[in-house]
Amino acid sequence: MDMQDVLPRDAIPGIDNPAFDTSYFGDPDDEVIAVEADPPRAYPVRVLSYHEIVNDVLEATESSGDDERPVAVTWCPICASAVVYDRTVDGQTLTFGTSGKLADDALVMYDRETESEWKQPLGRAISGPLDGRELSVVPSSILTWAQFRTTYPDGVVLQPVHGGPDDARGNSPREAYDMTPYDRYVANPEFGLRAMRGEGPQRTWDRTDIDAKTTVIGVVHEDDAVAYPVPQIRAAEGVITDTVGGLEIVVVASSDTAMRAFENPGYEFELRDETLYGDGVTWDLSTGQSNDGRHLARVPSRRLYAFAWQDDHGTESFYSLN
């Protein structure tokens, strides 16, 4: 594992006391990380790119019946890694911040309670008292803001910390959360810290089947880990059924921001015109709910670039149609 010290600890400030409202300052096609809660919550990637971690507490939904759940909504811009983690480990609630370090060009978080360091795409402690422990993944979705508002009309969205009338520089939220440098990185065929900031070692990519920055959906269950490259899912007409660690799943990709993994109840699924069909009914890709009231169980997954997944799980961990 290649470790780099890039910035001082907490130089990228996480958000510990998030505020929510129904209005969003960004664009309709901005991506958000959507989490089902009461009410559903959206965390814009535009905001997360400047904070990377939001320590939050989700209210239980009526259907789940669970207690409040402390979560960390995390985002690594270099890896395009969006993962929501449960912050509870051995009954202790952890609070996460940015360490200023990178491991294989991936965000390294630290928890303030034990000062253990955690690799963000992996969700595993890589140093400190909790070394080797793993965080549980909370199901989430990547939607556009417009899709979130349509799917969850009662949902709320994370409010900006910077910008507005109290901004010391007089910036608006859009100016404070300018996505230009991140958009340049997305368009850059290179990857890693060097491609993002022009510094650090030059990385190479030897695969020819997928690019380093191909978006994949990663599923980890028991001792098995499989990534599903989005081009492969689309080549399979948008639906792949598979088994990961003994768990039968169905992975669906209808667009860049409609990629999901569900437990497979044994139905034959088909994707037509952005709608999932199975067992004689239609299924909503955002919620997993059918038009007759049934639900597909969400499988915790990670959306990230292929190079970050390969760094953690190896070259043989990708699903292939061949």
- ω into 13 cis (within 30 of 0): no
pLDDT single digits (tens) 85-104: 999 999 999 999 999 999 99
* Digit-coded pLDDT (tens) for 265-292: 999 999 988 789 999 999 988 888 999 9
- CB under 8 Å, gap of 24 or more: what pairs does 69-72 form? 69/138, 71/35, 71/138, 72/96, 72/109, 72/135
Mean pLDDT of 227-233: 94
Given this model, what pLDDT does residue 207 score?
94
pLDDT confidence band for 152 (50 / 70 / 90): very high
pLDDT at 201 over 60: yes
248: pLDDT strictly greater than 60: yes
Give the chain's mean pLDDT.
92
CA angle, 61 then 64 then 69, to 5°: 70
Digit-coded pLDDT (tens) for 207-220: 999 999 999 999 99
pLDDT tier at 256, thresholds 50, 70, 90: low
Residue positions counted in the chain: 322
Q: What is the pLDDT of residue 167?
A: 73
Quick check: 65 pLDDT over 70? no
Residues 6+ apart with CB under 8 A from 20: 41, 156, 157, 158, 159
Run of H or E residues at 124: strand 124-127
Read off the pLDDT band of 194 (50, 70, 90).
very high
Higher model confidence: residue 227 or residue 167? 227
Provide the whole-model pTM: 0.93
pLDDT reported for residue 305: 97
The pair of three-digit structure tokens given for residue 10, joined into one six-digit string: 């907490």
Q: Stretch 48-53: mean pLDDT, rounded? A: 98
Out of 64-68, 99-103, 134-138, least confident range? 64-68
> Any idea which residue has 């004689």 for tokens?
280
